[in-house]
Structure 1
Amino acid sequence: MRVSKILNNNVVISHNELNQQVIVMGNGLAFQKKVGDEIDKSKIKKTFVLQTKGISDKLAKVLMNTSEIYLNIAAQFYEYAQSKLSYKLDEYLYIALTDHISFAVSRYKKGVELKNPLSWEIRKYYKLEFQLALKCLEVIEKKTGVRLGEDEAASIALHLVNSQLSGQNVTNAVQITEMVDTILSIVKFHFKVELDEESVNYERFLTHLRFFAIRFIRNEKLEDTADPFLYNQIKETYTESYQCTEKIATYLKNNFDLDLTKDEEIYLTVHINRVTDRQQKETSS
């Protein structure tokens, strides 16, 4: 294994026996080394594979002003989170988390703590990601001696959510969270009920909304293949839920210039009926 690029004294880019680009870490690994030199395998403490073009260049820029300890934390958490999540994480997460954790620890040491305005929503809508992020706080504390607050866990959870978009901007995850939150509020206001957040129907509805929002961010359009008979049947059978769907459609059109297909109207209406039916019955009984 030879040096392809030196990121700093302890981190180099190389290629493994499968010719995959890898990041190799170890104390003094690049000391007095140059590109093409053999890497001392006895010094290697951690290796991870990169499959996305350009990631190593961006990591190099981050590590110019950041200790590799934060890359180590990010890599450890990346592997742990990937083992727990059903979706594939984007490798840009290595960079985003390295930079974020470094900055968060630096702010903490200066006595500056930032509140995450979406912390409550993130805990509620992205429960698994938030629980994983709490584990990340434990790793940070173990490696740095700094215990960050749960607002930072919420921010790390957003990075996980955003990672499935193959994006490089947490603004995407914020927009998804706000869209989901507003749609849920429309449903609650329309039916004048509180939704049972522990119910299976709520989880299904929430999952549908999240991935609907993700499709929007990705600008993925669904073909309108709805059966006209089914569409009209849904409208007539679930009149109240369909009226709620129309309100959601108006919100999406006015705020995002997004037109719902008839397929999406059907899915939304059915999900809304499922998630509100029991609460309506309990309220009226």
Structure 2
Amino acid sequence: MQIIKVINNNVISSEDDKGKEIVVMGKGIGFGKKAGEEIEETKIEKVFSLPDESTSQFMQVVKDMSYEYIRTAELVIAYARETLGYHLSKNIYVTLTDHLGYAIERKRQGIVVANELSWEMKKFYNAEFQVGLKALDIVKQELDVELPEDEAGFIAMHLVNAQMGGQMNQSRNMPAMIKDILNIVRYTFQVELDEKSLSYERFVTHLRFFVQRVISREDSERNDEEFDQLIADRFPRSYECAQKIKSYMKKKLDYEVSDVEISYLAVHIHRVIHSMNK
């Protein structure tokens, strides 16, 4: 194989026998090399292809990244593929490698980013969350960096998104549905949400998983009338808004969203609206 492009000392691009661009990784595989030269096959550790639109993104992500970070991300992805037993979109190489790189650097700089959705991930996506916990062990073993448990939730989110990209045909409807839900919130409260705020970002993240759970019919079946009534009494406008969203989902998917799911949604609606009034 010939080198098409040298990304850094440890990552290069080449072409397979069908002329499709591939990513080739290995310690020192690109050191001192130029396009057109033969690849030293003894240094090849990993070869994979990505969708055309993702290849350049991956190259950009790893361009200035330590090989140890890249290799650690690959170990996590390999473990996830083996453990979860379902298809993961190849975009996971872009998203998870990028995330782990930043997470490790944040830890080394003493910066802590809380994940308020960890409980949701542990509750609704426990298999992915457990992989996230194992990923923390891999990072500790490979890099001697101890990431906080909240990172397991972030890693689980990336795995869920990658799973949706590979399996859920209806996932293409999610952006429009999320947009509609946000508009219901806007119209109910007659507000313009601050799309640059952290609270908005958290709310949209919740909506992504909310919609996925409903589409895949995996929303909580637990009944807790006392909890539902508590939320309805404490956050009446947010609960009313959540009920409108429930009606919307019924029309869109011909599916009745569970009451407890609507109650949790009302809590998140209250949070994003309340944050605007601070």
The question of a shared fold, defined as TM-score above 0.5 by the shorter chain, is answered with yes
Mapped to 1, the partners of 2:121 and 2:86 lie a distance apart of 18
Moved segments of 4+, more than 6 Å: 169-172, 190-193
Question: What is the match of residue 158 of structure 1?
Answer: 157
Q: Which moved more, 1:69-78 or 1:249-258?
A: 249-258
Mapping of residues 174-213 of structure 1, within 5 Å: 174-178=206-210, 184=220, 187-189=223-225
Question: What is the match of residue 54 of structure 2?
Answer: 55
Mapped to 2, the partners of 1:83 and 1:33 lie a distance apart of 34
Mapped to 2, the partners of 1:43 and 1:256 lie a distance apart of 57
Mapped to 1, the partners of 2:242 and 2:224 lie a distance apart of 15
Percent of residue pairs identical: 31
Question: What is the match of residue 74 of structure 2?
Answer: 75
Q: Does 1:251 align with 2:236?
A: no
The alpha-carbon deviation at position 189 of structure 1 amounts to: 2.8
Mapped to 2, the partners of 1:101 and 1:262 lie a distance apart of 35
The alpha-carbon deviation at position 28 of structure 1 amounts to: 2.1
Give the gaps of 5 or more residues in structure 2.
166-170, 176-200, 230-238, 262-278
Question: What is the match of residue 127 of structure 2?
Answer: 128
Alignment CA distance shift 1:52-1:261 (3 Å): closer
1:221-245, Cα deviation, whole Å (9 max, x unpaired): xxxxxxxxxxxxxxxxxxxxxxxxx
Q: CA RMSD in A?
A: 3.5
Question: What is the match of residue 88 of structure 2?
Answer: 89
Q: Note if contact 1:4-1:14 (Cα within 8 Å) is conserved in structure 2.
A: yes
Question: What is the match of residue 38 of structure 2?
Answer: 38
Alignment CA distance shift 1:66-1:190 (3 Å): same
Q: Does 1:11 align with 2:28?
A: no
Q: Note if contact 1:11-1:24 (Cα within 8 Å) is conserved in structure 2.
A: yes
SS at structure 1 position matched to 2:52: coil
Q: Note if contact 1:158-1:174 (Cα within 8 Å) is conserved in structure 2.
A: no
The alpha-carbon deviation at position 26 of structure 1 amounts to: 2.0
1:181-240, Cα deviation, whole Å (9 max, x unpaired): 9x74995237979xxxxxxxxxxxxxxxxxxxxxxxxxxxxxxxxxxxxxxxxxxxxxxx
Mapped to 2, the partners of 1:261 and 1:159 lie a distance apart of 26
Counterpart of 1:177, as a letter, is F
SS at structure 2 position matched to 1:72: helix
How many equivalent pairs are there? Answer: 211
Alignment CA distance shift 1:261-1:30 (3 Å): closer
Give the gaps of 5 or more residues in structure 1.
194-247, 273-285
Question: What is the match of residue 138 of structure 1?
Answer: 137
The alpha-carbon deviation at position 22 of structure 1 amounts to: 2.9
Alignment CA distance shift 1:20-1:72 (3 Å): farther
Counterpart of 1:175, as a letter, is L
Mapped to 1, the partners of 2:80 and 2:153 lie a distance apart of 14
Counterpart of 1:61, as a letter, is Q
SS at structure 2 position matched to 1:156: helix
Q: Note if contact 2:81-2:87 (Cα within 8 Å) is conserved in structure 1.
A: yes
Question: What is the match of residue 23 of structure 1?
Answer: 23
Mapped to 1, the partners of 2:95 and 2:76 lie a distance apart of 12
Alignment CA distance shift 1:20-1:252 (3 Å): farther
Counterpart of 1:164, as a letter, is Q
Q: Does 1:264 align with 2:264?
A: no
Q: Note if contact 2:26-2:46 (Cα within 8 Å) is conserved in structure 1.
A: no
Mapped to 1, the partners of 2:141 and 2:10 lie a distance apart of 20
Q: Note if contact 2:27-2:67 (Cα within 8 Å) is conserved in structure 1.
A: no
Mapped to 2, the partners of 1:131 and 1:252 lie a distance apart of 33
Alignment CA distance shift 1:152-1:116 (3 Å): same
The alpha-carbon deviation at position 70 of structure 1 amounts to: 1.9
Alignment CA distance shift 1:81-1:151 (3 Å): same
